[in-house]
Amino acid sequence: MVQIAIMGYGTIGSGVYDVVNTNQAIIQGNLGKELRVKYVLDLREFPGDPVESVLVHDVNVIINDPEVEIVVETMGGEHPAFEFVSSMLKAGKSVVTSNKNLVAAKGVELMKLAVEHNVNFMYEASVGGGIPIIRPLTRSVLPINDVDEITGILNGTTNYILTKMYHDGSEMASVLKEAQEKGYAERNPEADVEGYDACRKIAILGSIVTGQQIDYQSIPTEGITHVTKEDVLYAKKLGRVIRLLGTCRKVDGTYYAEVAPYMVGSNSPLFAVNGVFNGIMVHGNMLDTVMFYGQGAGSHPTASAVMSDVVDAAAHTGRIIYPGWSGDKIRLGEYDEWKHVFLLRFLGDADRKEAVEAVVGPIQVVEGCVPGEIGFITGSITNRDVAEAAKLEGFISRFRVKR
Amino acid sequence: MVQIAIMGYGTIGSGVYDVVNTNQAIIQGNLGKELRVKYVLDLREFPGDPVESVLVHDVNVIINDPEVEIVVETMGGEHPAFEFVSSMLKAGKSVVTSNKNLVAAKGVELMKLAVEHNVNFMYEASVGGGIPIIRPLTRSVLPINDVDEITGILNGTTNYILTKMYHDGSEMASVLKEAQEKGYAERNPEADVEGYDACRKIAILGSIVTGQQIDYQSIPTEGITHVTKEDVLYAKKLGRVIRLLGTCRKVDGTYYAEVAPYMVGSNSPLFAVNGVFNGIMVHGNMLDTVMFYGQGAGSHPTASAVMSDVVDAAAHTGRIIYPGWSGDKIRLGEYDEWKHVFLLRFLGDADRKEAVEAVVGPIQVVEGCVPGEIGFITGSITNRDVAEAAKLEGFISRFRVKR
């Protein structure tokens, strides 16, 4: 028998408890032995809930019980998750987490601690919710390929908002309000709409791909709060949709990482990732393009990813199987130097073309989207070039266009 | 050092040779040891090709060399691949194959043989080309989930033809001819357009999901040769696209398997899988829907999948790591009983509605697609019901509509 503990009985923790109970026979059939939740740690009481019989309030009960082999961390946040997880690893227990904040901020430290104690620190559920991504990436793609790009729609809330803005032609603020009422967005939506959530996730994916630590604080992060219904009109005119992308790319041997909204065309598999779904696109030099698609959040899907790690850990006691990355911090390319295709919006008409071309080189005109203004599609130009163009008279905004 | 041999220096075999040479440092970095191709077996000569130095014509050279630990089979076809692979397994070598015909017809036998000799028989590349599917399915999804559906666009040639028919409004025959000229379709396209290729692949995926042998001969298989430009007009009217789907589904505890063209709506992630790409959708009771997308064929992508198995095998010498399924044949549900939503086309107009409803129950009328005829969308009805409807006066055709 394998005995596990769950720390945190919130959305995901209760999902894990559910999955273990609902699919007990399947899990047991796969593992070849019974798997049981011995403890659930939470400060709250849950009167009448089936969890009551295994509920504990003191983390030391779990730390000191040698029968608990694997601990699931679904508390969220950096502290006290970090301290609790450290104690579990030191006590010789493998830890499985769904906590992107913890992995992005303290992952390297915890992986090192896990190796020192010959246990695993696993985090499939920290990115992409239920989508199998960490395991396929590290076991099927990276051992064979030079991966030069990983780009994902990593946040379901913002994708829901952007999809709805596109279909309804409405402004961000009203869609956000509706999403909050429906429970698709949090009362305090900053982590989602400002791109902070996607930033942690691309930091994790980028660190795995490069094999070195990418500090999430070093990733230029732009959310969706500035996206307007006029931007949507341009996207439609261009046959594109707007998506918030977290991306890590290698260009001429240098890695760049970023979170920002893009206009995405139908040549990209990310074009069709709508609503609350997530999609993660990987490009390898041999593999070409693959995409992993699914529910990026939600109690049961995320719990499925957590449990895939638990089962993997249970089948590999005493063996380090999970990928880590080096604590050496990677030197990312300069933001100013990174090149994109941009849509530049200006007040006025096509007469502005010459003045803009003088700064950014050849451009294409996009007419008839919004009265009183004109759009230009640039070639591949640097963020520095764009900053120069923004100084021109009549400049309204710039929007990245995914190649 | 790990030494491997490649049997068959065709499209995929030469891709494998290329991948090993191009990404040698990446593979070595991952494995922690050098990986070298000691032999390539092919009956042909390749004067001037770098493979010349390792080319052999006698399979016994490989069988009798104890230094060769892993053998890649990229010959294709059932024979002599089966005999060669059997000999390798008996000689204590793990075998990695890209050969769907071999896996669908002889997989169970070869898996058993592999286990008897404590080696692995691996087949990631036999389905979905470069897309990681077998490994994520068996290691991330199935250990946790009751999977009630796996449905895929499993053949790039037919998907290319269907995508092109949709965009150009042209007939199958002319698109096929063009695809043959461009090298996207074979001179003898039967295996693709009649669905035989997709049939092998869904037999493999279905066997993995159910854990029991699904004989490909037992899967009702309908190709795309009967798809007309009028069908495309109906699909467009319904906001759908036409896709050849291989599917294995569990309904009320009974499994059904099938290959057939469907009209697919934008609520499905398969809707956006265009051109030569493949997409495989999996639905689990906890996971909900995930999709794996990528290049379903091609030299380097498929070779990447082959090599992911090779690296996995090399890291697990003496340990059985690859999933098999039982040789017990599954009893599939009766074809006549399987339910779908159908589009029924009839000569005439909406006056026919009553007569058709008398046979298949409530239907919706689809008007204005093709002069002189009328379409009806049924509820969920059995294939038997459809066979009855087909006896009615004026019946033209029936087309499955994916829910």
Three-state DSSP class for A97? strand
To the question of domain A337-401 being in CATH 3.30.70, the answer is yes
Distance in Å, alpha carbon of A309 to nearest chain B alpha carbon: 8
Q: Yes or no: say if B9 and B20 are a contact pair by the CB < 8 Å rule.
A: no
Q: How far is CA B52 from the centre of its chain?
A: 33
**Binary contact (B305, A145; C-beta < 8 A):** no
Distance in Å, alpha carbon of A395 to nearest chain B alpha carbon: 36
User: Average pLDDT in the A52-81 region?
Assistant: 98
Quick one: B134-294 is in which CATH superfamily? Dihydrodipicolinate Reductase; domain 2 (3.30.360.10)
Q: Yes or no: say if A336 and A384 are a contact pair by the CB < 8 Å rule.
A: yes
Report the pLDDT value the prediction gives residue B182, as an integer from 0 to 100.
87
Q: Is the pTM of this model over 0.95?
A: yes
- Bond before A143 cis per omega within 30 degrees: no
DSSP string, B152-172: EE--HHHHHHHHHHHHH---H
Separation of alpha carbons A235 and A266, rounded Å: 11
Burial of residue B368 (CB within 10 Å: 0-12, 13-18, 19+) is exposed
To the question of domain B335-401 being in CATH 2.60.40, the answer is no
Query: Number of C-alpha atoms within 13 angstroms, CB side, residue A15?
Result: 25
Cβ contacts of A285 on chain B, cutoff 8 Å: 22-23
Q: How confident is the model at residue A4 (pLDDT cuts 50, 70, 90)?
A: very high
Considering only CB atoms, A290 lies closest to which of B145, B272, B293, namely B293
A134-295: what CATH class?
Answer: alpha beta
Pairing state between β B395-401 and B339-347: antiparallel
Domain boundaries B2-130+299-329, corresponding CATH code: 3.40.50.720
**Binary contact (A308, B141; C-beta < 8 A):** yes
Which residues share a beta bridge with B280?
B152, B292
Using alpha carbons, select from B250, B282, B258 the residue that is nearest to residue B383.
B258
Considering only CB atoms, B143 lies closest to which of A30, A277, A285, namely A30
**Binary contact (A301, B287; C-beta < 8 A):** yes
Cβ contacts of B143 on chain A, cutoff 8 Å: 26-27, 30-31, 307-308, 311
Q: How confident is the model at residue A182 (pLDDT cuts 50, 70, 90)?
A: confident
Q: How confident is the model at residue A384 (pLDDT cuts 50, 70, 90)?
A: very high
**Binary contact (A308, B27; C-beta < 8 A):** no
Residue B189 phi, psi (nearest 5): -90, 5
Q: Where are the alpha helices (DSSP H) in B41-155?
A: 59-63, 81-90, 100-116, 134-136
The domain segmentation of chain B, as residue ranges, is 2-130+299-329, 134-294, 335-401
Q: For residue B214, give the amino acid letter.
A: I
**Binary contact (B146, A26; C-beta < 8 A):** yes
Is A374 a residue whose pLDDT tops 90? yes
Q: Yes or no: say if A228 and A172 are a contact pair by the CB < 8 Å rule.
A: yes
Catalytic choice (B164, B201, B339, B402): B201
Going from the C-alpha of A232 to that of each of A171, A218, A374, A379, the distances in angstroms are 9, 29, 14, 21
Report the pLDDT value the prediction gives residue A30, as an integer from 0 to 100.
93
Q: Give the single-character DSSP code of A378.
A: E
Three-state SS for A262-280 is EEECCCCHHHHCCCCEEEE
**Binary contact (B144, A292; C-beta < 8 A):** no
Separation of alpha carbons B393 and A42, rounded Å: 68
Report the pLDDT value the prediction gives residue A229, as an integer from 0 to 100.
96
Considering only CB atoms, A288 lies closest to which of B124, B294, B311, namely B294
Q: How confident is the model at residue A323 (pLDDT cuts 50, 70, 90)?
A: confident
Q: For residue A261, give the amino acid letter.
A: P
Separation of alpha carbons A266 and A209, rounded Å: 26
pLDDT along chain B (403 residues), means of 10: 97 97 96 97 96 97 98 97 98 98 97 97 98 97 98 97 96 93 90 98 98 97 97 97 98 96 95 96 98 96 98 94 90 94 97 96 96 97 97 98 94
Is A312 a residue whose pLDDT tops 90? yes
Is A184 a residue whose pLDDT tops 90? no
Separation of alpha carbons B65 and B57, rounded Å: 14
Topology adopted by domain A2-128+299-329: Rossmann fold (3.40.50)
- Taking CA–CA distances from B287, the nearest residue in chain A reads A301
Query: What is the count of residue pairs from A and B with beta carbons less than 8 Å apart?
Result: 165
Q: How far is CA A375 from the centre of its chain?
A: 31
Is A239 a residue whose pLDDT tops 90? yes
Report the pLDDT value the prediction gives residue A332, as an integer from 0 to 100.
95
**Binary contact (A132, B140; C-beta < 8 A):** yes
User: Average pLDDT in the A23-35 region?
Assistant: 96
Report the pLDDT value the prediction gives residue B323, as an integer from 0 to 100.
79
Separation of alpha carbons B124 and B130, rounded Å: 9
Three-state DSSP class for B251? strand
pLDDT in tens, A274-297: 999 999 999 999 999 999 999 999
Residues of A known to be catalytic: 201
Cβ contacts of A312 on chain B, cutoff 8 Å: 139
pLDDT in tens, A117-135: 999 999 999 999 999 999 9
Q: Where are the alpha helices (DSSP H) in B284-402?
A: 299-315, 353-360, 383-389
